[in-house]
A and B are shown apart, each in its own frame.
Chain A
Amino acid sequence: GQNIDQPTEMTATEGAIVQINCTYQTSGFNGLFWYQQHAGEAPTFLSYNVLDGLEEKGRFSSFLSRSKGYSYLLLKELQMKDSASYLCAVMDSNYQLIWGAGTKLIIKP
């Protein structure tokens, strides 16, 4: 079966750095997405990786290793507004998105 694994919850301190990991086992691979979802709101797109390596976008970076079935989202200079759930999703060989359950990130002052 197809599976996406993410930690259920993480806690970090304002101003610090946090890394949210995502491992996947899917039927083929056509890209990996990260979304942010604040409580009670819709998911919003953060990043897309299809090739190995690091993609940097401001305070957020996303890394992909296709051989290891692994990605991480790196958040720097954490702000209170970064408290949210972070969803990892992989597009399989049929171009269907497989979603992880999400990682709830709690930022403490």
Chain B
Amino acid sequence: TAGITQAPTSQILAAGRSMTLRCTQDMRHNAMYWYRQDLGLGLRLIHYSNTAGTTGKGEVPDGYSVSRANTDDFPLTLASAVPSQTSVYFCASSEQGANSPLHFGNGTRLTVT
């Protein structure tokens, strides 16, 4: 089944440790996104990529980095985790165009202790 795969599903991480959240899509979408979702808040964009080889900062990029070496993969790295990064992280992709809906992965639930 075509779609977006995220890994891991959940993770408990000690503060100060690093971690990479993986995201792979097989729909050949050019645009990919990383969001975090926290209770009582709307989805907040961390980083995005409009096409392979390019990335951009979203609303809340501090403490996170991304790369886009190819069309399919868009990993998100936390270099030194802090408790405020406890959240549910969603990767998404879309075709180009303002009216193109986002396709979301199933999310990674991250707890930083």
Q: A87-B42, A100-B42, A101-B42 are in contact. Are A30 and B104 (CB under 8 A)?
A: no
Q: Check B101–A42 contact: CB distance below 8 A.
A: no
Whether B85 is near chain A, meaning CB under 8 Å from some CB there, is no
* Stretch with Cβ within 8 A of B (4 or more), from A56-64, A71-79, A91-99: A91-99
Chain B residues within an 8 Å CB radius of A41 = 106-107
Instruction: Judge whether A86 is part of the interface by a CB distance below 8 angstroms.
Output: no
On whether the beta carbons of A33 and B101 are closer than 8 Å, the reply is yes
Verify A99–B42 contact, CB threshold 8 A: yes
A41 vs B105: C-alpha distance in the bound complex, in angstroms? 9
**Count, chain B residues at interface, CB 8 A:** 17
Shortest beta-carbon distance from A25 to chain B in Å: 14
Any A CB within 8 A of the CB of B102: yes
- Evaluate contact between A102 and B42: CB separation under 8 angstroms: yes
Shortest distance in angstroms between A41's beta carbon and chain B's nearest beta carbon? 7
Q: Which partner residue on chain B sits nearest A30 by CB separation?
A: B98
B7 on the interface (CB 8 Å rule)?
no
Name the one of A33, A95, A98 contacting B42, with C-beta atoms under 8 angstroms: A98
- Answer whether residue B84 sits at the interface, using C-beta atoms and an 8 A cutoff: no
* B82 at interface by CB-CB < 8 Å: no
B74 at the interface (CB under 8 A from A): no
Q: Which residues of A contact B44 (CB under 8 A)?
A: 99
B53 at the interface (CB under 8 A from A): no
Question: How many whole Å from B65's CB to the nearest CB in chain A?
Answer: 20
Asked if B98 contacts A44 (CB within 8 A), the reply is: no
- Are A31 and B40 interface neighbours, CB within 8 A? no
B40 close to A101 (CB less than 8 A): yes
Question: Is A31 a contact partner of B98 (Cβ separation < 8 A)?
Answer: yes
A-B contact pairs, 12 of them (CB 8 A): A30-B98, A33-B102, A41-B106, A43-B90, A43-B104, A45-B103, A48-B99, A48-B101, A89-B43, A99-B44, A101-B41, A101-B42
Query: Which residue numbers of A lie inside 8 Å of B, CB to CB?
Result: 4, 30-31, 33, 35, 41-45, 48, 50, 87, 89, 91, 95-102
Shortest Cβ-Cβ A-B pairs, 9 listed: A99-B42, A45-B101, A42-B104, A99-B43, A30-B98, A101-B42, A42-B106, A100-B42, A43-B104
